[in-house]
Structure 1
Amino acid sequence: MVVPAWLWIATIAGLLVLLAIDLVIVDRKPHEVTIGEAGRWVAFYVAVAVLFGAGLWLFGDSEAATGFFAGYITEYSLSVDNLFIFLIIMTTFKVPAIHQHKVLLIGILMALVMRGIFIAVGAAVISQFSWVFYIFGAFLIYTAYNLAKTNHDEDDEDFKENAALRIVRRVFPVSDKYHEAKSFVKIDGKRFVTPMFIVIVAIGTTDLLFALDSIPAIFGLTKEPFLVFSANAFALMGLRQLYFLLGGLLSKLVYLSVGLSVILGFIGVKLILEALHTNTFSFLNDGEGLPVPTIGIELSLGVIVGVLAITTVASLIKVKRHPEAAKHVAGTV
């Protein structure tokens, strides 16, 4: 797929316009986001992503559109699991409800920049070293294994501060309370960072760790940097509203980690098969590709959608029959 410069510019400009609209309309006045408001925004962002994919289909080709939708759905579904961690962070730091939207906005802006860098580096590495797919594939299978045995109730109930947060606390004095939505404040002539700043760092650095899983996963579906970037961007754009819309539903998705582990494992196997098919290692089959089956993007999209559907239905049935199975995080509704 040949992507002209004007399409990159138009896409990035369009995303910036969406962010500007969001800033003007939603964040103009701090407020607690309602379920209805969140639902309308989620529907809007999903509709924009669908229109973007339809445009790729009409003016590009079906393979590009299918690659975008597969990447978008994968990134969005991985983000749902990440929201559970965001919820724990918000609860741990007791972020006021009226400021949670701003925290997520800044965190996601940071994520867009960091993921853009990751995608550029990943695309450059892949173009030069096809064997990197062996590494990506093995990493995704390893991640899938860890995710499958993860139990949020036991392992993720408490948020553990990472190195970045510990460094911030050592370098800057932290105020003992929130000062509206300010990140920095002067108290008795001395500058402090506020808990708001700490939460923003926590959200941003946590999403950086999430990118280590999601970027290799989407490169396993499409190698086109434009599709990788656009799928990530559209998934992140609607993430904040999804956080408020799902609310207590997050606790009911008890099998989500299992479903995502299946998807990541599937993509990991797909990557390794492609690496074997295009093998360049001289010690393996004299540097020639091996006659192994490869997995097409259409089948990948079908598997992703099917696994997510089964996971969601199975989770809701489980919780309906056994309400005690639902995850619990203080502050969920």
Structure 2
Amino acid sequence: MDVPGWVWVPTVAGIVALLVFDYVFHVRRAHVPTLREAAVWSALYVGIAVAFGVGVLVVGGTTMGAEYFAGYITEKALSVDNLFVFLVILHSFRVPREHQQKALLFGITFSLIARTGLIFVGSALINTFAWVFYLFGLILLITAGNTLKPRGGEPDEGENIAVRTARRLFHTSESYDGGRLYTERDGRRAMTPMLLVMVALAGTDVLFALDSIPAIFGLTQNVYLVFTAVAFSLLGLRQLYFLIDGLLDRLIYLAYGLAAILAFIGVRLILHALHENNLPFVNNGQPVEVAEITTGLSLTVIVSVLVVTVLASLFSHTGRAQTAIANARRHATAYLDSEYTADPAERERIFQCLVDEKVEIVKLGPKYKQMARDADGLLDLVEQAHARHDAAVARGEAPAARS
């Protein structure tokens, strides 16, 4: 079903308006979002996406509605997995907590622009060359395998090729100047780490797009549905980051779920390619009579896999321990970094999180206490953070920690 231009115009205008609203009302004033703020805005953006999907269902019919929701859910799940890498980048660049929103929103905006270009390129390829479905299916099967590879701890994801090139070609500063992208150093104009982290986020997202765009084209070839599903999955991602950044390590089985979904969509694409086959060396260039997977079945599989993997992760004791250990390391490092935040309340929140994580590990039992002891350098970091906090309490700069 072709979507007329008069539908495209208000849709694009609405998406741009939401981005502008974020820039004007949320990012211009540097602050650390509260849990309530992040939850309210995350729910609002999800609500907008669902309401849009209901509208597609009513106006476009069951097939279009199912394709939109399948695409949106898949892209949202992939976005949550991508947040882990965003977390590593922000951590490796020591981005002050107050300014992380600005960096994330730039990354999301760049992502939307880049993916829009890839969507139209992908659509043109599909309309011109039927064999592209084979290529997209193969990409997804390879990606599914790569998704199962261990992350390898906390790699320096920030130092990608774009960042290294920027450091070589331009004068850069080592410290932040608020949320500014440029500053003056020794009488020269220099790029701040804030600009570099935006480059890192943008560069990394290009790699993410190479996985996500073939995935959604495996669910629908309607460009309007592809664009809106991708756009709505990205909108609200900034708020979602602050809502679940403490739970990202908890989703220990999410990678398995995403691998299963990507492999399923990859098989669906290859089956569709066989059904539309025109390659001369496959069945003499004639279509192959194979069963195709319906959109309804695809939506059911995607939702079922995500529900099972998320629930399994949340109820896993190993996941709880892994989350507490990873967050304790992160919070201890942030508390000891005097440049991480200038907000005393945020510093105290970080320390109380550290206290709560210690309690959580102890509650889980001896096996997981030993896991924390075996974590390289963790106990030393925690002890340093406690000593720093005790000194602040003695000086009257911080309240005593909860017991």
Provide TM-score, normalisation by structure 2: 0.79
- Quickly say closer, same or farther: Cα 1:24–1:66, change in 2 above 3 A: same
Question: Does the 8 A contact of 2:53 with 2:68 survive in 1?
Answer: yes
In the TM superposition, structure 1's runs of 4+ consecutive aligned residues that sit over 6 Å from their partners are none
Q: Quick one: which amino acid aligns to residue 39 of structure 1?
A: A
Name which of structure 1's ranges 154-163 and 252-261 shifts more when overlaid on structure 2.
Answer: 154-163
The structure that has the greater radius of gyration is: 2
Question: Does the 8 A contact of 2:3 with 2:224 survive in 1?
Answer: yes
Q: Distance in 2 between matches of 1:198 and 1:24?
A: 22
Q: Distance in 1 between matches of 2:253 and 2:39?
A: 23
- Quickly say closer, same or farther: Cα 1:216–1:322, change in 2 above 3 A: closer
Shift in Å, 1:248: 1.2
Partner of 2:54: 54
Q: Deviations over 1:61-90 (max 9, x none)?
A: 211111111111000000111000000111
Partner of 2:258: 260
Shift in Å, 1:274: 0.4
Partner of 2:180: 182
Question: Does the 8 A contact of 1:276 with 1:290 survive in 2?
Answer: yes
Shift in Å, 1:155: 5.0
Q: Distance in 2 between matches of 1:17 and 1:189?
A: 39
Q: Deviations over 1:215-266 (max 9, x none)?
A: 0000000001111111110011111111000021111000111110000000
Partner of 1:41: 41
Question: C-alpha root-mean-square deviation of aligned residues, in Å?
Answer: 1.4
Provide TM-score, normalisation by structure 1: 0.96
Partner of 1:308: 306
Q: Per the alignment, in what secondary structure is the counterpart of residue 328 of structure 1?
A: helix
Aligned residue runs from structure 1 range 123-202, under 5 A: 123-148=123-148, 150-152=149-151, 154=152, 156-159=154-157, 161-202=159-200
Shift in Å, 1:25: 2.1
Among 211, 222, 225, the alignment partner of 2:223 is 225
Q: Distance in 2 between matches of 1:322 and 1:189?
A: 50
Q: Distance in 2 between matches of 1:125 and 1:299?
A: 26
Partner of 1:291: 289
Q: Distance in 1 between matches of 2:28 and 2:217?
A: 36
Shift in Å, 1:186: 2.0
Question: Does the 8 A contact of 1:85 with 1:156 survive in 2?
Answer: no
Q: Distance in 2 between matches of 1:322 and 1:19?
A: 34
Q: Distance in 1 between matches of 2:294 and 2:153?
A: 36
Among 200, 203, 207, the alignment partner of 2:201 is 203
Q: Deviations over 1:120-144 (max 9, x none)?
A: 1000000000101111101110110
- Quickly say closer, same or farther: Cα 1:107–1:14, change in 2 above 3 A: same
Q: Quick one: which amino acid aligns to residue 94 of structure 2?
A: K
Does residue 212 (structure 1) correspond to residue 210 (structure 2)? The answer is yes
Q: Distance in 2 between matches of 1:241 and 1:32?
A: 11
Q: Distance in 2 between matches of 1:69 and 1:215?
A: 15
Q: Distance in 2 between matches of 1:81 and 1:216?
A: 17
Q: Per the alignment, in what secondary structure is the counterpart of residue 185 of structure 1?
A: strand
Q: Distance in 2 between matches of 1:328 and 1:81?
A: 16
Question: Does the 8 A contact of 2:93 with 2:158 survive in 1?
Answer: no
Shift in Å, 1:317: 1.9
Shift in Å, 1:322: 6.3
Task: Identify the structure with bigger relative contact order (alpha carbons < 8 Å, sequence gap 6+).
Answer: 1
Q: Distance in 2 between matches of 1:323 and 1:250?
A: 11
Q: Per the alignment, in what secondary structure is the counterpart of residue 293 of structure 1?
A: coil
The percent of aligned pairs where both chains have the same amino acid is 48
Q: What stretches of structure 2 of length at least 5 have no aligned partner?
A: 332-352, 354-403
Shift in Å, 1:17: 1.3
- Quickly say closer, same or farther: Cα 1:231–1:253, change in 2 above 3 A: same
